[in-house]
Amino acid sequence: MSTVVKSPREEFRELLRLAIPIAIAQGGQALMGLVDTLVVARAGTSALAAVGLANALFFAVSGFGMGLMMGFDPLMSQAFGARNSSRARALLWQGGWMSLFAGVVLAGGLLALPSLLPFVGYAEADLTDTRAYLLWRAPSLVPMLAFLMVRSYLQSAASTRALVVATVVANVFNLGADILLVFGGGILPEGFGPLRRIPAMGAEGAALATLLCTLLQLGIILSAVRSISFTGGLPVRRPVGADLKQAARVGIPIGAHLTAEIGVFALAAALAFRLGPASMGAHQIAISYASLSFTIALGIGSAGSVRVGWAVGAHNTPQARLSGFIAFAGGAGFMALSALVFALFPRTLADLAGAQPDVVPLVVPLLIVSSVFQVFDGVQGVGAGVLRGAGETRFTFLANMVGHYGIGLPLSLALGFGLNQGIVGIWWGLCGGLISVALALLWRFHRLSAGTLRPLEA
């Protein structure tokens, strides 16, 4: 049992060394979504509204799969913490099978989902672009989940360089592909040959660009796995029921938590869509900015998860406690800076997004609301990560259910529709939910780490 505990300054340096590349990778994923929004916004308000609804549906469905894959996070980090690299490599293979099984099932459900929307009041004519977008986006689920699995392995092994390379390459490719596929090859100058014959695909083009980028990223990081050595015999490459069940026991509550969290924002998007294209467009722009800053906090939370998992695997609870609270401080500090940007430059950010004149008056107050909940959003994002590293996933799900659906959603409905505050009222309700979840997760980690943290595979 290890009892060595780093100083807070040394722990902060170690956290940053791991968090910066992970945060770049996390932020890069959100940046691609933001670029999609910025490009599609220039194709018109209706196209932006369709992409906003489609993305809300996509992440509402994929959130469960993402959480399921995160069930491998504490198992891997604790395996590396216990210096059992062969076990970590075996878990990587099982995660690959899990991503295949879950991705196929969720993609089928995602494609069927738009057919249910007319039963809750959506006009069939308004869903044409949404259906077309999802037709191209659904196939990206399997490689996206596989990417998350390999990323978990690399970050648990502290081998994060490939994540940065994949992020930079994919974002450069995504920008060019978005512009080309959304507006067509006709925008290119003479001399580009066959590329000039590519038709303008509108919202579908953004989805196809995302699919291609996901495959590109997966290929880059898979090549990095070979450089990580492991001791012991070759891992079993076929599906192992016991390993899949163990990961599912940890991952299902995470998936339920992400589904609950993403689901409440998907409901907010659906409510915004009912308020009209301008409200939906404003929601999509504001949520894209908020997601970009939040993914940096998620990166810090993922680094905290790894640091806590290493300490738990080494049976060093005091170090795990320190790692968790340093991660909380780092996430809150970054999000405070993000809050200042949103509060001081909302109009500039709205103009940068190419918001139409009817959308700008709604985007600006939404960014102000976002500035209020930034720090709390960061705390709850980091809290989910450090609790995951400790092997605690059920409480996070319960906190999200109570916070978002017991507090946030009723507030959104009361303010948005009861008091006729529209999309701004809906966002104030979301703000209330995020604050309650953040406080609950901070309390839970404090309480849990005051005792003895034990590895999941003890």
CA pair distance 406, 443, nearest whole angstrom: 19
Q: Inter-axis angle of helices 141-156 and 72-81, to 10 degrees?
A: 20
Q: What is the mean pLDDT of the chain?
A: 86
**75-129: per-residue pLDDT in tens?**
888 888 888 888 889 899 999 999 999 999 999 999 988 887 777 666 676 677 7
Tell me the CA distances in angstroms from 52 to 62, 107, 285, 291, 366, one per residue in order: 15, 18, 9, 13, 15
CA dihedral 434, 423, 364, 55 (to 10 degrees): 70
pLDDT for 295 equals: 84
- CB distance 55 to 287 below 8 Å: no
User: Is 385 in contact with 305 (CB distance < 8 Å)?
Assistant: yes
What span, in angstroms and rounded, lies between the C-alpha atoms of 258 and 261? 5
Residue 297 lies in a domain: yes
| Number of neighbouring beta carbons within 10 Å of residue 124 | 11
Question: Is the pLDDT confidence value at 458 over 70?
Answer: no
In a domain, 3, yes or no: no
Q: Residue 245 burial (CB < 10 Å; 0-12/13-18/19+)?
A: exposed
- The DSSP call for residue 159 is -
Residue 49 structural domain: 8-449
Give the ranges where 42-123 is alpha helix by DSSP (H): 45-70, 72-81, 85-112
Q: Write phi, then psi, for 238 (nearest 5 degrees).
A: -80, 165
State if pTM tops 0.75. Answer: yes
Inside any domain, residue 454: no
> pLDDT tens digits for 140-186?
999 999 998 998 899 888 888 898 899 899 989 988 888 888 888 77
Q: What pLDDT, in 10s, does the model give residues 370-421?
A: 999 999 999 999 999 999 989 898 999 999 999 999 999 999 999 988 898 8
Tell me whether residue 161 is in a domain. yes
CA atoms of 306 and 389, how far apart (whole Å): 6
Give yes or no for residue 251 having a pLDDT over 80: yes
Instruction: Answer whether 299's CB lies under 8 Å from 338's CB.
Output: no
Q: Is residue 238 part of a domain?
A: yes
Residue 119 lies in a domain: yes
Domain for residue 33, yes or no? yes
Does residue 455 lie within any of the structural domains? no
Cβ atoms within 10 A of the Cβ of 233, count? 8
Number of domains in the chain: 1
